[in-house]
Amino acid sequence: MAVSKILGFKPKNLKHFETAFTHRSMNIKNSQGHTINYERLEFLGDAMLSAVIANHLYLEVPSGDEGYLTKMRSKVVSREHLNELGRDLGLINLVQSKIPKGQFGDNIHGNLFEALVGAIYLDRDYKYCEKFIYKRVIIPYVDIEKLEGKVISYKSLLIEWCQKEKKTFNYNVYEDTGNDNMRHFSVKLSINNKIVSKARATSKKKAEEKASKRAYFVFQNQISRTLLM
């Protein structure tokens, strides 16, 4: 079975993994009338990932304070990284859904990865869950030095820098559909009343992050001296 190859062991109770790959569009309910889909397992898997990663960082970086460890854990379990993990394992190919797979957003990959971790915990125990996370996440991806320099959110980083340096900032976002059929938004990012970057994307959040990334590279040396050293 495909899931056994991904796990590296044979499941005891296949139902946990069937649930982990059942989308809510299937509208399946159990005998008690409770909806069956991967969302509850996603919640459980998120907690397991956080616990295992937190334990690893705690042991690996004895000098790290609470703030440092929290930031590092966030980088490991970022939505972008979880999506990458789920995509690499091809988890979307196992999904049972009434919605065409091409219509899912990127986050489906990370959601399924978390649900899979939750299913492992229920099917076996914490040790099996920990072993899987070490094999699929920590060993191939968790490099402390690289993580220290990884940026999760350019917007958050830029705002933190502006606040520390007492600089004013403003995201001027407006709808900019233009000739596109899909709705778009444009943003002008100003720092100290001077426009430093512009961007356009299909959502306000994406446009702001894009503009923030461009601004980050404008002030990269200054930001690094203040926040990343």
Per-position DSSP letters for 164-212, written without gaps between them: HTT--EEEEEEE--TT-SS--EEEEEEETTEEEEEEEESSHHHHHHHHH
If asked whether residues 9 and 116 sit together in one domain, one would say yes
Confidence of residue 188 (pLDDT cuts 50, 70, 90): very high
- Residues carrying an active site annotation: 46, 114
pLDDT score, position 86:
94
pLDDT score, position 180:
64
pLDDT score, position 1:
61
Q: Which of 51-60, 116-125, 171-180 has the lowest mean pLDDT?
A: 171-180
If asked whether residues 165 and 182 sit together in one domain, one would say yes
> Mean of the pLDDT values across residues 147-155?
79
User: What's the domain range around 222?
Assistant: 154-228
Handedness of CA 148, 153, 155, 160 (dihedral sign): negative
* Number of structural domains the chain divides into: 2
| pLDDT above 60 (res 228) | no
> Mean of the pLDDT values across residues 32-40?
92
If asked whether residues 54 and 123 sit together in one domain, one would say yes
pLDDT, the chain, mean = 89
Of 92, 118, 148, which residue constitutes the final position of a domain? 148
> Mean of the pLDDT values across residues 153-158?
86
Tokens 């295992």, located at residue: 52
If asked whether residues 218 and 113 sit together in one domain, one would say no
| pLDDT above 70 (res 40) | yes
Question: 8-28 pLDDT, tens per residue?
Answer: 889 999 999 999 999 999 999
Of 148, 166, 201, which residue constitutes the final position of a domain? 148
If asked whether residues 56 and 137 sit together in one domain, one would say yes
If asked whether residues 168 and 100 sit together in one domain, one would say no
pLDDT score, position 57:
94
pLDDT score, position 146:
80
| pLDDT above 90 (res 2) | no
pLDDT score, position 15:
93
Question: 114-148 pLDDT, tens per residue?
Answer: 999 999 999 999 999 999 999 999 998 888 878 87
If asked whether residues 45 and 60 sit together in one domain, one would say yes
Tokens 């190919």, located at residue: 93
pLDDT score, position 154:
85
If asked whether residues 13 and 85 sit together in one domain, one would say yes
